Amino acid sequence: MPTHNHSKKPWLHQYLENIWYQPRKMGKYALLPLTLMYCGLSTIRRWQQERQRAKHSAVPVIIVGNITVGGTGKTPLVIYIIEQLKLAGYSPGIISRGYKGKAKEWPQQVRPMTPTHLVGDEPVLLASHTHVPVVVGPDRNMSIRCLLNHHDCDVIVSDDGLQHYKMQRDIEIIVIDALRGFGNGYCLPSGPLREPVKRLNKATICVINRNDKAHSSDSDSLTLTLRHPHRYSMQLQGKQLINLSNAEKIDLSELKGKTVHVVTGIGHPERFFAYLNTFGLKLITHSFADHHEFQKHDIMFTQNYPVIMTEKDAVKCRKFQTHNCWYLPVKARVSTGFMDILLGQLRTSPLSIQKEKVKNE
């Protein structure tokens, strides 16, 4: 476990997380009236958006999302899916929300060196890894049109957007965090759920992120309780640290037994901490709110220990040119059969069948 934990998250965020992920906490009952209101408004909003849903675009759309608040590992899975689609002969593109992006006009096309403060951190990470067109904006349908107007894509992957019901969807992939599961099982704000657990039944595929060896039993339990015909497990793996300033590489094992600062601005930092613990590091953790816009003083400390962060946070800190900071790239590994089901669903989508008929005429 971490030697010291310095949380910089807002107090309300910490208070709610304590209620959500500690079953005996009674605060959830005080929030139930707000939860009932949230569920009612969400149902009305979904009904309205589904009535306004855009007609099918010229290409199939795959949504990779979740039903809980906080990180579940969607972005590494999107990168994996894009790589596999390219190997299968497709020309994919990506759309995303661009959360916390401050661009004056939307949608925005994203490139590896696009400033994160304009478009958000995850889209820049996606563009850097996949080398496919990435478009972001709050209106997903507009992003789809922008992507197809400027690029020759034959399939689109949406990073999040599961609850954006105005957007068409041909395939839905829901990612679940094995360590935290569904919390206390309540919807916001009593619990962490954006939608009830039964929403999983309508997904095409469910993926359980069991990325750290220390909590594999939690994933096994979740797999048994999750009754979905297409459920798969995923692990996020990475062993090589990269220096933020000069791109030097070292293996995590070289830091075994040593004290390090770990700085995060992600939705579920405990999963990252647990993973680093499996390598025998002594952690001093500094967790900020998800999508935190880092300043240089956030990653500078009086003790001369190495500073480790996720790659998602590193894209926002590379401008500081600090020599003692390292980030850990991770890759998703998904259990056998996942891409077979995904490609099968893609080939049998109405759009693909229609294109095949036109091609053969």
Categorize the per-residue pLDDT at 214 as very low, low, confident or very high, splitting at 50, 70 and 90: very low
In whole angstroms, what is the distance from residue 40 CA to residue 198 CA?
16
354/90: higher pLDDT: 90
- Of the given ranges (53-62, 171-180, 304-313), which has the lowest mean pLDDT? 53-62
pLDDT of 163-199, one tens digit each? 999 999 999 999 999 888 999 999 999 999 999 999 9
Better pLDDT: 270 or 109? 109
Report the alpha-carbon distance of residue 307 to residue 263 in Å, rounded.
7
CB 25 within 8 A of CB 16: no
**318 φ/ψ angles, rounded to the nearest 5 degrees:** -65, -25
Of residues 7 and 333, more confidence is placed in 333
Question: At 108, is the pLDDT very low, low, confident or very high (cuts 50, 70, 90)?
Answer: very high
Task: Kindly tell me if the per-residue pLDDT of 221 is higher than 60.
Answer: no
Q: Give the residue from 360, 341, 361 showing the smallest Cα distance to 349.
A: 341
- Nearest residue to 286 via CA among 302, 304, 275, 273: 273
